[in-house]
Chain A
Amino acid sequence: MWAFLSAPGSDVTVRVAAWTTAWVSAVTIVLFAYSLALRAATVQEAKRRRAIIERWRGIFAAAMLSGSYARECALPRFSRAERSDLLEEWNLARDSVEGEAVGHLIVIGERLGVDAVARRMLRARRLSARLAAIQTLGHLRSRAEWAALISLLDDPNTALSVTAARALVEIDAHDSVPLVMPKVVTRDDWPATTVSRILDKAGPDLVTQPLCSAILISEAATSVRLLKFAELARTERIDQLVEILLRERREPRVLAAAMKALSSSAGLPHVERLAAHEVWYVRMQAAKLLGRFGQERDLALLEGLLRDAEWWVRYRAAQAIVALPFLGPNRLRQIRDRQTDRYAGDMMQQAIAEAGLA
């Protein structure tokens, strides 16, 4: 190949091919070497991690059990390179406990200076280091970086912003909920599971009012998303809200989501009305609710839904009928047998079999 590269008379195409071959070969060798180096680094890293775990896990476990140990035990020194792992281990320990042990871990954390370490790491370039730092500040309930955490709520990175929200609520739920709730409304990139944990941590007293207001005034998609968190608010307030939504809103998605959030028979008159809604999934939700809260007079309504053109409405109506507490197996079979519509009869038969009453 060297002959092609150096020969002055070579055709241009051949020279380009020769140079490309040389370059690609070099890049391939570099990548190969890099992969081997990565492997070696991974092995080393695993060894180092194991050593750190061995050293710190025992200390944190003992501290969880005893406050005096947390205050007085001799603490090994740790290097700059170990900071990130130390924080991770401390966070892991902190995540695993509740109650008195939390205070012990905070004491040992303060003695180790994890607060200062976390504050430094908050400005690191590595995302994982920043995430560990935010988590630590939250766990320590340290207000030292309160302003920085608030500004992180608007960070475009989902993990950073949602972790900051979680830390803020952990540090001071009372002060942070008014700041976090508007972001819960606007940040549809935040994973619902994490938001649910944040709201759960804040507690229904703080969450109920802003959540209900947001659901009430938001456009359909946001209302539907927020209604998923309704179980974390006060049920009586949510039931009132659902009643308003069922009365005033027209969007089928909102109506269906609102019915899902209902936990009492408060809105039953609206549900009975919605059983005749033009959109099938609204009728389906109505059927489900009638099964939970329905009375004898709703049986006719449910039998009507049993003949619905949509399979899911028929299915939920049949399940609802089977779930009605005042109907025994004999009456269920009578209902099945009196269906003149074949699809309705088949569906009742399926629901009865599913309930083990066949």
Chain B
Amino acid sequence: MTIESFLFDAQWVFLIYFIGLNAGYLAQNVLAIAGIRRYLQTAEQLEAENVFSSLDLPVSIIVPAHNEAVSINSSVRALLQLQYPQYELVVVNDGSTDGTLEKLIDGFAMRPFPEAYRAQIPCKHVRGVYRSARHPNLRVIDKESGGSKADASNAGINAARFPLVCVVDADSVLMQDSLRRMVRPFLEDPSTIAAGGTVRIANGCTVRQGFIEKVGLPRNFLALLQVVEYLRAFLFGRLGWTSLNALLIISGAFGLFRKDVITEVGGFAADAIGEDMELIVRLHRHMKMQRRKYRIKFIPDPVSWTDAPETLRGLKSQRVRWQHGLGQALFKNRALMFYPRGGAVSWLAIPFYLVFELFGPIVEAAGYVVMIAAAVLGLMSPSTATLFLALSIVLGMLLSTSAIMLEELSFHMYPRLRDILLLYLVAILENFGYRQLNAIWRMQGLYRWLFGRSHKWEAIARTASLREQA
């Protein structure tokens, strides 16, 4: 085979891949537009009806914390102010060495509590349980470090008293009505076993007493790029998949689960890098294989705000970890792939994630290499290479534009026109360098998954704005 014929054949592989990828995204987009219209049409009415009543489901909120002394008390204070009729807060101190437990004990008058702790889901040894003398619905589980958020979450789930458990990142900023919104799918459809909502970037927002007071865009360019990315991922990615009941991920920053089902599957996998995604894929596998009726839902409402990394190092670490987690989650649950009764999860979502999300960076990088090689060898004119590059860029822009349009159609959280124009500018700029950088990081994540390197609790540097006002 000559280089010429190889490049000729490769061109077709890339073309088919390119068409498949973009057709997939555009289909998700169409489903998301239909889904969000349907959702918004009824949301207002049902929202008005859905005032608190004895029929609301009580919720146990689990907050895994590892070395969160700086912010844990303000996070807990905010969580204690959520608008929801009945909930408890279970903070899990996962072997912190920075005085997290002491901060909690001082801040909330925590007293040792003789809890008959039951370890339904295996987790590291629980050293003690504390209960607040001021807030009867607040407990702290003090345990040996399991080295992962998953292990801490499992310890919290074991201590949960209510039928729904909500796992929240200690550094997440919630809306006061987040729980009420998230519970809605469980009230409307009893076959719902898990629900997630839209996570937004908190950088640039004004946070007061643990809640978002004013929405704004970050000044940091990297964080700004992530705003558009998150809009794309949540507003059409997840919304599209949920309409097929094929949602494969609920963000670990804020997810609500039926406790009996999560316990039945053994909780979060302590060895998983992306424990949030792995759990959702495992839930699909478990329910499909048992032929049980279930729904895993996503609501487009912005329910949680998270601190995005503002340095290349932090961002790289996050993306490498995500890709590693993706590979692990898909591989661990490979039995679900093309499972005869698996429906859209087995026949669409898993293959799509495998081909386009997991191995996508390799094809993307190879595409750039082949195109450059072809241009250098004179097999492709520079203008043709530019054309293909332009096509790739405008398709990326179309997807981002459509996500921003969905935001305008639905929640318009960014009040100033300037913000929207800035987001469009970012949607153009992200194609020059950022996308390519992401592909490289994701390849590193893929490499880590294939050649097995483990991750532990990872601290993301908090932005000044959040830290000062929290």
A contact set with B: CB distance below 8 Å? 1, 3-4, 13-14, 17-18, 20-21, 24-25, 27-28, 31-32, 34-36, 38-39, 42, 127-128, 131, 157-159, 162-163, 188-189, 191-194, 196-197, 228, 231, 311, 314-315, 343, 346-347, 349-350, 353, 358
B contact set with A: CB distance below 8 Å? 11, 15, 41-42, 44-46, 49-51, 53-56, 113-116, 118, 120, 131, 187-190, 383-384, 387-388, 390-391, 394-395, 397-398, 401-402, 404-405, 408-409, 412, 417, 420, 424
A39 cross-chain contacts in B, Cβ below 8 A: 408, 412, 417, 420
Structural contact, A347 and B116, CB atoms closer than 8 A: yes
Structural contact, A35 and B401, CB atoms closer than 8 A: yes
Structural contact, B113 and A353, CB atoms closer than 8 A: yes
Structural contact, B113 and A163, CB atoms closer than 8 A: no
Given contacts A28-B394, A193-B55, A193-B187, 15 further A-B contacts (CB under 8 A): A1-B390, A14-B384, A17-B387, A18-B387, A21-B387, A27-B398, A31-B401, A38-B409, A39-B412, A128-B45, A159-B45, A191-B46, A193-B51, A193-B56, A196-B53
Least CB distance from A352 to B in Å reads 8
Structural contact, A194 and B384, CB atoms closer than 8 A: no
Structural contact, A189 and B55, CB atoms closer than 8 A: no
Least CB distance from A7 to B in Å reads 10
B388 cross-chain contacts in A, Cβ below 8 A: 17
Main DSSP-derived SS at the B contact region: helix
With A32-B424, A35-B408, A42-B412 given, is the CB distance from A128 to B44 under 8 Å? yes
Main DSSP-derived SS at the A contact region: helix
List 30 A-B residue pairs with CB atoms under 8 Å apart, sorted by A's residue number: A4-B384, A14-B387, A17-B391, A18-B387, A20-B391, A24-B391, A24-B398, A31-B401, A32-B424, A34-B405, A35-B420, A35-B424, A39-B408, A127-B42, A128-B41, A158-B188, A162-B49, A163-B45, A189-B188, A191-B50, A191-B187, A192-B55, A193-B51, A196-B55, A197-B49, A311-B116, A346-B114, A349-B114, A350-B116, A358-B114
Least CB distance from A340 to B in Å reads 16
Q: With the chains together, A28 CA to B397 CA distance in Å? A: 7
Least CB distance from A302 to B in Å reads 16
Least CB distance from B285 to A in Å reads 25
With A191-B50, A192-B55, A311-B118 given, is the CB distance from A21 to B391 under 8 Å? yes
Structural contact, B53 and A193, CB atoms closer than 8 A: yes
Structural contact, A228 and B420, CB atoms closer than 8 A: no
Instruction: Give me the 7 closest cross-chain CB pairs, A-B, nearest first.
Output: A346-B116, A159-B42, A21-B391, A311-B118, A349-B114, A194-B49, A347-B116
B187 cross-chain contacts in A, Cβ below 8 A: 191-193
A28 cross-chain contacts in B, Cβ below 8 A: 394, 397-398, 401
Structural contact, B405 and A193, CB atoms closer than 8 A: no
- Contact partner, B383, options A3, A131, A311, A353, Cβ 8 Å: A3
A25 cross-chain contacts in B, Cβ below 8 A: 394
